[in-house]
Structure formats: C-alpha cells, structure tokens
Amino acid sequence: MDNDKLVNPCVAQLIDANLDRAREGIRVIEEWCRFNLTSKDIVISLKDFRQTLGLHHHWNYKRARSTAKDNGIGLSHPYQETRTSSIDILAANFSRIQEALRVIEEFARIVDPNLSVSSAKIRYSLYDLETKVIKLSKGSNRRLKLNNSNLYLITNHDRVKIKTITNALEAGVRLIQFRLKEGSDKDKLIEAKKLASICKDFDALLIINDRIDIALACDADGIHIGQEDLPTSTTRSLIGEDKLIGKSTHTLNQLSMAESEGCDYVGVGPVNQSKTKPKTKALGTTYLEEAIKISRLPCFAIGGINNLNLHDIVSAGATKIAVCNAIMNASDPFKTTKDLMNGLK
C-alpha cells in the first residue's frame, strides 16, 4: 500500500483495530505453544503470521486510531466469563483472529489488495493449525493430570461397580482404567460410556484396557496395552497423539522399550502376587526400586497392593500405585481410597 494513499478514515480505523486484534490473538496462542507445547515449528509459523501482519500495519491505519470515539472499547460479553480452561482460551483466540482477518480481508480488498490476500492466506492456514494446537493442548492437559495422579484405580473383571468407582472418585481418585474381560462388546461399550460420563463429572482421566475401538467410541483419554497387544507405534497411529498410552512392563528391558516407543506411563509389576493375575510371578520390591530409578516415565507400581503392604511399596521409592481389588472389593471404598492416598503422601 502507498502510505500516502487516502483511505476512508472509518475503513482505516477498522483495519487498524482488527490488525491489532489479530496480532494480539496470535501472540496469545504463540506464547502458549512456546511455553506449554514447546512446539518450535508451530511457534515459527505463528511468529511469521504476526510479523507479516505487522509489515502491513501502515501508518495510514494507525493514525486513524481514535480510542475516544470507539464505542466498542471496554465492552465484554457474559460468555467471556465461561472460559475456565486453557482450551477455552485457545478456542476463543483462534475465533478472534479468524474473525478479525475476515474483516480485514473484506475491507482491505478496495484499499490494500496485498493486505487482503495476506489476511486470507493466514486465515485459511489457521483453520488447520487450530485443530492441531487444540489436539496437542488436550494431550498436554491429559499428561499433566496423569503426572498429578498418584492412585490409579483399575476395574475388575466382573460388571462395573458404578457406586464403588463413584466413591473412589469422591475420595480423590482422578485416574480410572476400565478393564472388563467378560460380556459382549455392546455391553462393554455401554459400561465404558457410563464411566466416561462419570469421569467427566469429576474431571478424571479414563483409560481403556486393550480395546482401542472402545476407547475411541467413548472418547476415553487413553489406552492401556500389554506386552502381547498391538505394537505401541500402531496403537499411537490409531489412538492419536493427544491420547495417553500406558503399557504393562515386567522387566527393565520392557520398561526401557516402552519409554523409547513413546508411551506416556508404565505399569511396573506385579510387585506382589495378585488375585487379578494369579499365574504371574511376583517381582518384589527390589525390582520395583530398580525400575523406578531408571525410568523417566511415570511408574505405577501394581500387583496386590493394599493398605497393609503400602509402606513397603513406598519405601522402595514408589509415589504412584495402581490397585484393583483393594478398592473394588472394599467394604468402604471411600475410606480405603482415602487411606491409600494418605499412605502415598
């Protein structure tokens, strides 16, 4: 644009306002991607968008700025108060940028064709980028919740005991694994969807054991696989980058492999003989201590853990445990859960 070209002051003012709005929104998302997602490629793209718009932000637009005459300054909307998560903030800012760019694209068409074209290109690029950033951010939030979870409740083989699980959630559990081997696929999906709804109410993570199809069908937070299940790479390609993958490990080599394959957490055990898997040999606390020392992933000690032997597990260095029968078969699931959580502190 020729900086000396006369532009309708109202058009210049709205282009100026929307350039500011778009650049500010891009900066909000850029900083999130820089510090939370640590995604260099996305940050570079966003910075390029912001700098491109900056080059088009000519003096003719800036000198038309008049905050005193702008009746929109300071106006807010009740929906702004409903943003309670980072995902809400990201979605709002992507919308803000896209709307601002559309305004610029339309009005710059007659006074600044180059700006109009640039705005359109950036707007279309942001549609795909929004999906990617939101997915990565959901994955980041899930991994943060995972790291903050010390007690992992696994359902047992029979029908899901909704009341027991709800008691555990009320006591503070925020990580549940749905493990149901019996029954039809239809029944399993019905149970999984019930659990997904309950976990959502408590802002808890739901992991599905083995079944990727059920995990996807109920929009679970992740999948747990064993050594004989699908390879981690295949599981990841099916479940997506934003979902969690946990893997059962029984040797130090398996633990190292799970880490190199990109798993998000590992189960370490069985530490004690377990009623859930009675034929699997207990590995003991010495092995648990070795595993915790070498692993950079969140390690959940598993296998016959309860309030009677928890002290030994903690003494071996464990800060995270996975239990099934200790809570699922407890006469008072709420109290048992509280006792286990207190024992981990």
Claim to verify: residue 313 and residue 173 sit in the same structural domain: yes
CA distance 255 to 222: 19
Q: How many CA atoms lie within 13 A of 332 on its CB side?
A: 6
The domain boundary, picked from 113, 143, 173, lies at 143
Claim to verify: residue 204 and residue 253 sit in the same structural domain: yes
The token pair at 236 is 């990841």
CA distance 160 to 178: 8
pLDDT value at residue 281: 87
- Per the annotation, the verdict on 248 as an active-site residue is yes
Residue 4 forms part of a structural domain? no
Q: What global pTM score does this model have?
A: 0.83
CA distance 159 to 169: 18
Claim to verify: residue 73 and residue 179 sit in the same structural domain: no
pLDDT in tens, 145-202: 999 999 999 998 666 789 999 999 999 999 999 997 778 899 999 999 999 999 999 9
Claim to verify: residue 123 and residue 191 sit in the same structural domain: no
**Could you tell me which of 206, 268, 211 has the C-alpha nearest to residue 243?**
206
- Sequence-ordered list of residues with C-beta below 8 angstroms from that of 44, at least 6 positions apart, any chain: none
Report the CATH number at residue 74. 1.20.1260
Residue 206 forms part of a structural domain? yes
CA distance 165 to 294: 32
Cα distances (angstroms) measured from residue 87 to each of 40, 197, 212, 245, 266 = 19, 19, 25, 21, 27
Claim to verify: residue 74 and residue 185 sit in the same structural domain: no
Name the residue range of residue 118's domain.
9-143
Claim to verify: residue 136 and residue 158 sit in the same structural domain: no
pLDDT value at residue 279: 73
pLDDT value at residue 9: 87
CA distance 101 to 22: 7
Report which DSSP code applies to 85.
S
pLDDT in tens, 34-62: 999 988 999 999 999 999 999 999 998 99
- Per the annotation, the verdict on 50 as an active-site residue is no
Claim to verify: residue 101 and residue 203 sit in the same structural domain: no
Report the CATH number at residue 297. 3.20.20.70
Comparison of pLDDT for 82 and 297, the residue scoring more: 297
- Per the annotation, the verdict on 161 as an active-site residue is no
Phi/psi at 202 (nearest 5 deg)? -100, 5
Residue 116 forms part of a structural domain? yes
Coil, helix or strand for 12?
helix
Claim to verify: residue 159 and residue 248 sit in the same structural domain: yes
- Of the pLDDT bands very low, low, confident and very high (cuts 50, 70, 90), residue 240 is very high
Residue 2 forms part of a structural domain? no
Claim to verify: residue 93 and residue 201 sit in the same structural domain: no
Q: Which one of 248, 274, 295, 320 is the catalytic residue?
A: 248
Residue 65 forms part of a structural domain? yes
Residue 1 forms part of a structural domain? no
Most confident of the following: 82-96, 150-164, 179-193, 232-246: 232-246
Asked if 239 contacts 212 with a C-beta cutoff of 8 angstroms, the reply is yes
Asked if 325 contacts 275 with a C-beta cutoff of 8 angstroms, the reply is yes
Cα distances (angstroms) measured from residue 12 to each of 51, 61, 98 = 19, 5, 19
Claim to verify: residue 138 and residue 162 sit in the same structural domain: no
Residue 60 forms part of a structural domain? yes
Q: Which one of 179, 188, 211, 243 is the catalytic residue?
A: 179
The domain boundary, picked from 127, 143, 159, lies at 143
pLDDT value at residue 39: 86
The domain boundary, picked from 120, 143, 166, lies at 143
pLDDT in tens, 323-345: 999 999 999 999 999 999 999 98
Residue 76 forms part of a structural domain? yes
Claim to verify: residue 136 and residue 200 sit in the same structural domain: no
Report which DSSP code applies to 292.
H
Report which DSSP code applies to 282.
P
The mean per-residue pLDDT over the stretch 286-305 comes to 96
Claim to verify: residue 251 and residue 314 sit in the same structural domain: yes
Asked if 287 contacts 254 with a C-beta cutoff of 8 angstroms, the reply is no
- Of the pLDDT bands very low, low, confident and very high (cuts 50, 70, 90), residue 273 is confident
- Based on the structure, what is the number of domains in the chain? 2
